[in-house]
Amino acid sequence: MMKKSCVIRPRTVLVPAILALILSACSSGGGTPAAGEKDGKAAPSVTDDQKAVELTFYLNSMTKKEFDEIYAPIIKAKYPNYVLKTAEPAVKGQEIQNLVAAGSVPDIVVGTKGTISFVMEEYGLSEDISELIKTRKYDLTRIEPVFIDAMKGYAGGKVIGLPVNAPANALHYNKTLFDKFGVAYPKDGMTWDDVYEIAKKMTRFEDGVQYRGYSERWHQIFMEFNQYSLPYLDPKEDKAAVNTDQWKKIVDGIVRFYKLPGLKFDSKTGYTEEDLKVFETGVSAMTVFARPDNYKTFEWDIVSVPTYKDKPNIGLAGSARYFFITNTSKEKEAAFNVMSHLTSDEVLLKLSKVGIAPPLAQMPEEMKKAFNQDNPLYQGKHVTSFFYNKPAPEPLIRAAGLTPFTKSQSILIGEVMKMIVEGSEVDANTALRTAEELINKGISEAKAAKK
């Protein structure tokens, strides 16, 4: 069964002016500067703009609406003679296995890191485009190395595409609630310990209402995208990797927010999906996982994602979204034209304005300030906070041949849940030891089933 990796990024409101804005940005002649310019791509031959080319995009991690309304206009404005077609895994008959069987492999696969394993590698579609990057004089050092390293890790060391946008996260806080209780607002550069101290001040029971200092879709923020880049499974052996001091630090760091005086949780209210909704009701002071289109009853703003004291300026891990060129494509030059143009500074600036974060190693200040500029929800917000930290590296990729076991995260979540539920006497050492035993048992059973 094909799997997709989750990408955390703020929701984008597609304002009516978006198409005009993008078209005006990309129809100017300077979309592909000469080699050596700051966005690092070589100018294509003069005939590339006029060449009639058909490109098919497999939208594994992108909706057709997003492609049609944002990316297609950018491409068509620069390359008007390119005929763009799409295929979607949700459409019957367009699943990648069917396209491969029919000999209709797309030219470009759009996806996150999970797409590399479950589409590009599984169906033998990967090809190292390093030589193409070299001949086209594309400056790969412009791109955040965490995203390049992640791609190489999943693709056996190959560069098989380019990231076209990145995850972006910030700590959202309820200004109305801070004003009500006379507590100073959060600020950029805080640690999780700082946030905990604020949460203690903001957690209180008043006028029949239980207020929360912090609420979160905690499994994703603290575990799936953990800032220590910790794996659930050992990268070299068929065993769990959760019973460690660093995982203990993360788990204790989660649970302390749920053990503040006055707070009580059961197996339903402590569940991450339930806690996700709390900030939207106006009774919680802070959260990272943002759904700002639901913030109707209070004023809010943002600061940088908190970090650990021993990991300064390291934000959340998270998958970029890539365009991968398939090895069967007859239009690799044209496909690279598209990817190169989409990662040019001029295009990334315009995409930043609509809330699509650039995958750059060094973000121009103009691009930071422009982020979500055309999204009404973020008007007047402290948007540079999204880029205060660098993304955490991906956990080490497991060695080839090790037993897959996808339930490791859910097992760890379940044990942490036991620590949160009222009346539970489970501590972090017990939770991690139990999770380790259950994961190892699951791996053993999976190995036995393969024999």
Task: Write out the H or E segment, with its range, that includes residue 82.
Answer: strand 82-87
The pLDDT, as a whole number, for residue 6 is 37
The pLDDT, as a whole number, for residue 143 is 98
Q: Do 324 and 116 contact (CB within 8 A), yes or no?
A: yes
**Average pLDDT over every residue of 408-434:** 93
Q: Do 48 and 376 contact (CB within 8 A), yes or no?
A: no
The domain 18-168+318-371 having CATH identifier 3.40.190.10: the answer here is yes
- Residue 17 pLDDT more than 60? no
User: Greater confidence, 404 or 438?
Assistant: 438
**Average pLDDT over every residue of 346-355:** 96
Model pTM? 0.86
User: Greater confidence, 449 or 196?
Assistant: 196
CA distance 325 to 310: 39
Rg of the chain over Cα atoms, rounded to whole angstroms, equals 23
Sheet holding 171-174, edge to edge: 286-287, 171-174, 300-303
Architecture category of domain 171-315+397-450 in CATH? 3-Layer(aba) Sandwich (3.40)
pLDDT band at 39 (very low <50, low <70, confident <90, very high): low
- Residue 167 pLDDT more than 80? yes
Fold match flag (18-168+318-371 vs 171-315+397-450): yes
What DSSP designation does 56 have?
E
Distances from the Cα of 218 to the Cαs of 170, 322, 401, in angstroms? Answer: 14, 26, 31
Average pLDDT of the chain is 89
What DSSP designation does 199 have?
H
- Residue 186 pLDDT more than 50? yes
pLDDT band at 268 (very low <50, low <70, confident <90, very high): confident
**Average pLDDT over every residue of 177-188:** 98
Query: Which tens digits make up the pLDDT trace of 102-137?
Result: 999 999 999 999 999 999 999 999 999 999 999 999
- Domains of the chain by residue range: 18-168+318-371, 171-315+397-450
Say what angle helices 345-353 and 18-26 make with each other, to 10 degrees.
Answer: 170
Query: Which tens digits make up the pLDDT trace of 360-415?
Result: 999 999 999 999 999 999 999 999 999 999 999 999 889 989 999 999 999 999 99
CA distance 435 to 414: 8
182 CB-side CA count, 13 A? 0
CA distance 76 to 78: 5
The pLDDT, as a whole number, for residue 50 is 64
The pLDDT, as a whole number, for residue 125 is 98
Which residues fall within 8 angstroms of residue 277, CB to CB, at 6 or more apart? none
Amino acid at 83: V
The pLDDT, as a whole number, for residue 272 is 84
Beta bridge partners of 161: 324
The pLDDT, as a whole number, for residue 46 is 41
- Residue 291 pLDDT more than 80? yes
